[in-house]
Structure 1
Amino acid sequence: MAIEPQALLQALQTVLDPLTGRDFVSTKALKNLQIHGAEVSFEVDLGYPAQSLWPELGQALRGAAQTVAGVGQVQVHWQTRIVAHQVAAPTVPALEQVKNIVAVASGKGGVGKSTTAVNLALALAAEGAKVGVLDADIYGPSVPTMLGLQGQKPESLDGKTMEPLLKHGLQVMSIGFLIKPDDAMIWRGPMATQALEQLLRQSNWQALDYLIVDLPPGTGDIHLTMAQRVPLTAALIVTTPQDVALQDARKGIRMFEKVGVPILGLVENMAMHVCSRCGHAEAVFGLEGGQRLAAEMGLQCLATLPLALAIREQADRGEPIVVAAPEGELAAQYRRLALRTAAALSLLGRDYSSKLGALKVQSHP
């Protein structure tokens, strides 16, 4: 019995991407459908890195295809096709080797922004993306410590540009590589913003899908520089559930809205502390404050992360939890954050799925 291609496509269209809510047929992510007797094969191009989801989604697609009469073996081939999305300041020169720049910001210091930025970058890399980290916290760079790169200096092969340092699969640049650890950065706004632009544009980034920028806390000159003079794609906000932190997070959200930078969502950090000895759970900084703020501001709550001793210990050791315990529950939470962040970014700007080519169906007796 010959397999009807249209019936097969209709069956495959019932499977939805759990993160975007869209099917793979109408978005043209499903390509090169081939039918060889009872055997079916096709490719799926995802616009964000999600290698951990491939087995589950592949099983769902195979199951849908096999509901069609005559279908036997089904092969699903996965590809990740991350594109550059529209930037907030389109007149700003692009970085040729960087597709998307995502700022990680917080209105208040001490909410775990840098820890979140580093683990987010590592989780994106674990899902198959090429990722860089720019430590833009000029006054308090902590990325070198968190990635175990203290005391190292970037090389310059031409005397004009710098080579990012490499660690755990990430390309990394920080002002912390260029100053002594105990030096205080007593810089006025123009000097700090100039230093940020030099770090960004004079670093030899290599074919990055995402550059994660760890911003300083607050809403100052560096934030305006990022919005107006850097090809910024989007931002995400990190806060704790505490009322004081939420007030400042709200200001950060308003700032990005005023300068036209899309906000992918909000991360509620240190939401719950679970005692490592007795297992007692306690909302040290309040309960669900970040989730309420996200709902109030019309944003997605991308993750609710715990206050966990292991996260702090591993960051201090230069081995963040995502690489120190990749199979653990804490790493899994950062992986889920990475998936939701990348999926939200993939929906921004123009629809690039039209550039993937028309769907071709080939039938063979």
Structure 2
Amino acid sequence: MPLHRFWRKRAVALSVSASAATAAIVAGLPHVAYGATLPGTITITSPTTGKIAAGTDKQVLLLTVAGQTLSEALVTGVNLGADPDCQNISSYVVTSATTIAVKTPTGGCPATTAPTGDNIDIVFAGNNTVRKTGGLYFVTPPAIAAVSNKPVINENSALLLAANQITRFVTSGGQTVRVKADANYAFDPRASAGLGVTFGGKPVTELKVYDSSGTQVLATTTTAPAVGNYLTFKTGAGMSANDSSLTVTQNGVSKTFSSTDTGVSVVAAPTVTSLSVTSGKIKAPVSTIVTGANFSKTLADYTGTPTWKVNFCNTAGTVTAINAAGTTLTVTTPDVSNDVDGLGTGVYAGTCPVTIVDVTNSITSPISAGGYFNFLNE
């Protein structure tokens, strides 16, 4: 008869009579007293480190048993550590005669305090057990500040008012990000902690840890940093605009934070590929269609007090239309003559790069070969 392969919600119920069930169980067990420790060994197959997130439900441990035969009829529960909430766990699957997978219960199990780790018991009928002494570690997972406290921002906007801090990042990477730890958690740069971060699906670079005063905590420090500190990093190139998640790994466990947790978004930066009109007199505004991608599709964003701009050099043109796809903008050229933000003081002719600027998030399109406008003297 094949083994059952489903996550148990309760102790297994067999559709046989009580006497038949008892006979089957007794036949499969050694003749020992109830509540005895059975011979056999347990090995943690996954995670191989024996480290699993504390206080987190549905964390899966894969265990291999030698010296006893496993089956859904024989196994009645699993103990992970000594906490009552993690005793006689029924959310397990016997995957073979020697392997079993068990999930941590709702709320998870508390952080391990014993230096040698927590014990694991596989419980058989009659409350007989096979034990692994130590080796299981429930580790407090990384934690960041509440989203209302802007836990993840562009580091360059750290001194701005909270409402103006930048939480939007571009897929091209290279931006510096600051992540604030929860008040009860500390990022640890020491090699023994194994700190690592991915953002937008890509590993980050230049990962550094700072204390709350802004002093860098070096990897050579001999003591654990104080809680409530923060880390910074540079985003990797090629992030996905469909993946705004942040994953922090420390002390052998990882925690992934969604955009709901962080308040951030990853977007493709605007780009300019061509202009329909590429030259005109500097004192006679002309209309040109800017073609590209990832523009704001809302015309109001470009008018009044704009949150988006189309700049010629560093001077905004006047946007009069945008297509529904956000790929073309109709723009009237500005006067950039004799202007420090245009061609320069005392300059009345020249060439300006045309860029799209997301003002709110300080994102500017890269300068492209097809994105230049030539201003001609009168």
- Greater RCO (CA < 8 Å, at least 6 residues apart): 1
Bigger Cα Rg: 2
Taking structure 2 as the reference length, what is the TM-score of the superposition? 0.23
Bigger strand share = 2
Bigger helix share = 1
